[in-house]
Structure 1
Amino acid sequence: MHHTPKPARRAGRLAILGAASAAAVALAVAGTTPFAQAATVTFNPLDPALGFNSFVEDETVLASTEAEGPIATGGNLLIEGSYNVMIHTGTGAFTAPGDAQPSALVVGGRVVYTVDPATSVVQVLNSGYVKVGDLTGTDVLNTDQNNASVNTELVAAGSGYNSTPRIQLTVQQPIDSVGPSSPIDFDAAFGELRANADTLVECQANVTMRDGSGNAVAKGAVTQGQNIHVTLEAGVTNVLDVTGEDLNNMGDIVFDGPLPSADTPLLINVDTSGTGGELDWVVAPQSPVSIDQAPYMLWNFGTSTTRLRIAGGDTVEGSILAPNADYSDVSPTNVEGQIVAKNASLGEIGENGGEIHHAPFAAELTCETDVQPTDGPSTPGGGTTAPGDTTAPGTTGPGGGSLATTGDSLRPLIIAAGALVAVGAAVLVATGLRRKGARG
């Protein structure tokens, strides 16, 4: 009778025990130990801005010149010059419950009539409605001094019809529909917008800046006047990381290959930490991008940028997400997209601001982010969430949109499966050794 040699038998047992131990450890780790994971998020980060050309949390100053679409501000509105709102038809995406027309100008606080030249008139065009949360200091009129029926105006209390400063409509809006109430929860919207901005900052960059000779240029290494070339990958979300200094040093941003589109959107994450969270932006041309591509470009300044000033240069193609920033435009430089900011000054007295062209962000961004280890409370789906994070795997993502995740709920099963495969392999090895011994 032949017996399996002791070394082979011992090796088989050790292989089985080792694989079993690995399986047990893997299952324990999968079930109890937090670790960094990659998560894929897919959402439109500007959904909470409701399609407004300018969407501001607190105060907005209107001095010059115009917005093709509607404007919303959660705080006070200061009239300091001539400004036209919703100059294009079909741009109002939000209609308050019970209203017959879209909201062209939403003010969560009061209207402040601070300047009194004859030109201080805010014209709300294309039959858009005005909504005001606090009518203190405002008279809403739809009859003139002769008691004739006229289009609605908002004027300083006691000033009379056609006085300046004023907000004038091109429709007779029912007085009681003007206010005092705001149809938008700005606190909730900006909670989502800040979460979205923070999520986007974590998206992994996959676009490389290159000089005219094709050499890679690292983030923070753009030199004064240098033309930067980028090549997008079709069919995916493209992510470019730059600093504020990079933006101001660029001569041109040249797109080689595919241009931004609905299935090839471009996210530019701008890091302003090198300038203390502040940036006076002289905008480089983005060639050959135009308003046709603007709905698929997003400049994300995150939540660490506290002041953003458009100081000159070329048109900004794409939307600006700067939810913690005091935003101002004191040059003729236009923005083709949406502006999201904490406060906004659209022009200043004696300084013309640029126009805001209606090109609302219209893409869903999909990118990988790093999910940090967490010991947060359990969720109904069986996962955990970090303190302050209400998103669980398989539920909704930042901004209330859908959030797709990979490598979360399947990871424990994958680890366990791998360990079990190792057990099976070890069993086969041990069996083979026994048979060999029996034959020998």
Structure 2
Amino acid sequence: MRLTGRALAPAVIPAVVCGLCAAGPHPAGAATGPAAGPAVAAAHPAAHRAPPLTGDPAAGGLAAGNPMAANHSFGVVTRRDALLAGTGAGSAVAVGGDLSIGSRYTVTTPATGGFVAPGDARPTALLVDGAVDLASSAADGVLRVAGDGYVKVGDPAGSATRATGMDGSPVKTRVVAAGAGYDTAPRVELTTAQPSSSVAPARGLVDFGTLFAGHRRRADALARCPGTVRPADPSGPGATARIRLADARTNVLRLTGTRLVDLRTLDFGNRPTATRPLVIVVDTTAENGELSWRTPAMTGVTAADAPYILWAFADATDLTLTAGGATLRGSLYAPRADLTDRNPANIEGDVVVRSLKADPHAGALHHAPFAAEPRCGTRPAPRPAPLPDAGPAGAAEPARAPEAGLRHAPGPEAEPPKASEGEPPSAPEAADPEAADPEAGPAAPDPVVPPAVTEARPAPDAPAPGTPDAPAAPAAPAAPSVTDPSPDAATGMAETGSRARLWLLGAGAALLVATGTVLTRASRRHRQDPGE
């Protein structure tokens, strides 16, 4: 359930709007105060724009470009919250919501490149558009940002930045709980001295709403790519799929969720390259977007080949990597999915998901940015079946048939019942991937939603026909006083009426304050953007 203005009585809305304008979060990309102005103004450099998405598989061809090109050099990107409790990340991390941390986690960035915020002297290694939620972090939690990278925090609420010692001299910067000392935990610690004013507030450096709208469109387009790779072996539990990639083309392997779960080994007859990349399209329609899987062993390829492999989950809303799996080579592209990583093995590639929960036993996220530009099309692929579903590897792609890719392409047609969670589309471009977005599905189990719903109920109930009269009930005793034969009846009656009016005014004011508080909290937790 999402809190909307329609749940409030007209009399309540105007009274709380001003409070929300001041206290609620600003949309991604908006300045939040004087300190945010200069940084936000230059927050979206053209160098990080994704190449245009041209064509359509159903119309004869698609040039998707590199879907990671718009990630501002961040290797791990989430639209919403992230819990980092595993081993660490070898790439810069960008969190669109709030961040909580486990016992130990290290973020190490590459020696060169990276996103440099306006006015900063160093690249950003950790960007949190929301708050660092130290209250929900492990008591001994320490997230270490190595490599002298900088940290950017959008919402400083609940945290404090310590960048000077007792004598006022610069020290290696730390982000601790508000009011806590330099050596306390949980904390985020840097290996360099970053000015406090550079750490927070820094909201809007990345427009996560626009970024993920683009990711969902690209994922949907890739989901319609026809399969061109035919595994040489039959399917079934514990299966080994042997594949060979064709030169000078994007190789597309289409799998159902069941087929992926059954797969234990993916054996490569030759290695992927920039000119013969592999896109693995996984359709989770039959699983209602929810899939728990043990990553298969990937033989015949090494970490050096990971930049040319893309795992695309366009319609997935809930993914879990279970323990016992092998290293996942390639980038995991699931912009609608809440990802839970419980696998001690590593992920070698970029990670783009709606939210991330890296279990304390999760492996590392290694730096292996996707480095290919997928192209596909010229004929539709049949809906993936448990058995291999496409033509021989390297075969020419014949002319198209009436329908391409998934039988239910992700988008408004795929999940109409879930459209209630998203806001109405604000523009034609946003309508397809966002208004009835399958991303809306996992929002109900999102850890942020239940508290917001619980707190928000008193507010909508307050103006309801039965409930709003509850505060007026104390006025009822005034009625008997009208017929009171006592000589003091007139005085008592006037006095009682005055007190009742004052009581009602006080109760109304308290109700407005409570409503504003609830709405502010809900607004901070959800941070909705149009169309999501």
TM-score of the aligned structures, taking structure 1 as reference length = 0.71
Structure 1 residues 1-41: Cα deviation after superposition (integer angstroms, max 9, x where no partner): xxxxxxxxxxxxxxxxxxxxxxxxxxxxxxxxxxx732332
Aligned to 1:285: 297
Which residue identity is paired with 1:305? A
**Which structure is richer in relative contact order (CA contacts within 8 A, separation 6 or more)?**
1
Matched, 1:362 2:384: no
Instruction: Please name the residue that 2:126 is paired with.
Output: 105
1:232 match: 245
- Counterpart of 1:307? 318
Structure 2 CA distance, aligned partners of 1:359 and 1:239? 20
Structure 1 contact 207–232 (Cα < 8 Å) conserved: yes
Q: What does the per-residue CA deviation read over 1:47-94, in whole Å, with 9 as the maximum and x for residues that have no partner?
A: 2222322100010111121001110001111123211012x5426521
Superposition pairs of residues 394-433 of structure 1, within 5 angstroms: none
1:45 and 2:46 aligned: no
Which stretch shows the higher mean deviation, 245-254 or 234-243?
A: 245-254
Deviation string for 1:183-218 (max 9, x for gaps)?
11111100110111001001111111121xxxxx4x
| AA matched with 1:234 | D
Shift of 1:147: 4.2
What pairs up with 1:21-100 in 2 under 5 angstroms?
Answer: 37-86=59-108, 88-90=109-111, 93-100=114-121
Please say if 1:173 is aligned against 2:194.
yes
CA distance in 1, matches of 2:184, 2:143: 12
Following the alignment from structure 1 to structure 2, what is the Cα–Cα distance between the partners of residues 92 and 66?
Answer: 19
Q: Find the aligned partners of 2:154 and 2:241 in 1 and give their Cα distance.
A: 46
Amino acid at match of 1:236: R
Q: 2:459 matched to which residue of 1?
A: none
Tell me by how many angstroms 1:144 deviates. 3.2
Q: Give the direction of change, closer, same or farther, for the CA distance of 1:265–1:273 in structure 2 (3 Å limit).
A: same
Residue in 2 aligned with 1:271? Answer: 283
Q: Is the 8 A contact 1:145 1:160 kept in 2?
A: no
Q: Is the 8 A contact 2:101 2:137 kept in 1?
A: no
Residue of structure 2 aligned with 1:336, choices 335, 339, 348: 348
Structure 1 residues 210-268: Cα deviation after superposition (integer angstroms, max 9, x where no partner): 21xxxxx4xxxx20111111110011110010012111211211111x31111110000
Q: Higher helix fraction: Structure 1 or Structure 2?
A: 2
C-alpha distance in 2, partners of 1:235/1:62?
39
For residues 134 and 254 of structure 2, the distance between their equivalents in structure 1, rounded to whole angstroms, comes to: 42
Question: How far, CA to CA, are the matches of 1:117 and 1:78 in structure 2?
Answer: 8
Identity between Structure 1 and Structure 2 (%): 38
- State how 1:192-271 maps to structure 2 within 5 Å: 192-211=214-233, 217=234, 222-256=235-269, 258-271=270-283
Closer/same/farther in 2, CA of residues 240 and 91 from structure 1, 3 Å limit: farther
Aligned partner of 2:146 in structure 1 is 125
1:191 corresponds in structure 2 to 213
Q: Is the 8 A contact 1:135 1:180 kept in 2?
A: yes
In our comparison, the structure showing a higher alpha carbon Rg is 1
Contact 2:226 2:376 in 1 (8 A): yes
Of Structure 1 and Structure 2, which has the larger fraction of its residues in strand? 1
Q: Report the AA paired with residue 135 of structure 2.
A: T
Secondary structure in structure 2 of the residue aligned to 1:360 = coil
Q: Measure, in 2, the Cα distance between the counterparts of 1:178 and 1:170.
A: 14
CA distance in 2, matches of 1:45, 1:89: 20
Matches of 2:201 and 2:190 in 1, distance apart? Answer: 17
Q: Is the 8 A contact 1:265 1:363 kept in 2?
A: yes
Gaps of 5+ in 2: 1-57, 381-399, 404-426, 431-532
Counterpart AA for 1:226: A
Q: Over aligned residues, Cα RMSD in angstroms?
A: 2.1
1:115 deviates by 5.2
* Number of corresponding residues: 327
Quick one: structure 1 residues 116 and 319, their matched pair in 2 at CA, closer, same or farther if it must change by over 3 Å?
A: closer
Q: Is the 8 A contact 1:81 1:115 kept in 2?
A: no
Distance 1:38 1:271 in 2: 21
Provide the rounded CA distance (Å) in 2 between the counterparts of 1:46 and 1:388.
24
Report the Cα offset of residue 118 of structure 1: 6.1
Q: Which residue of 1 aligns with 2:428?
A: 388
Seen in structure 2, the aligned counterparts of structure 1 residues 176 and 54 have a Cα distance that, compared at 3 Å, is: same
Letter in 1 for 2:343: S
Once the two structures are TM-superposed, the CA of residue 294 in structure 1 deviates from its matched residue by 0.3
| Deviations, residues 305-325 of structure 1 (Å, cap 9, x unaligned) | 111111131000000111111
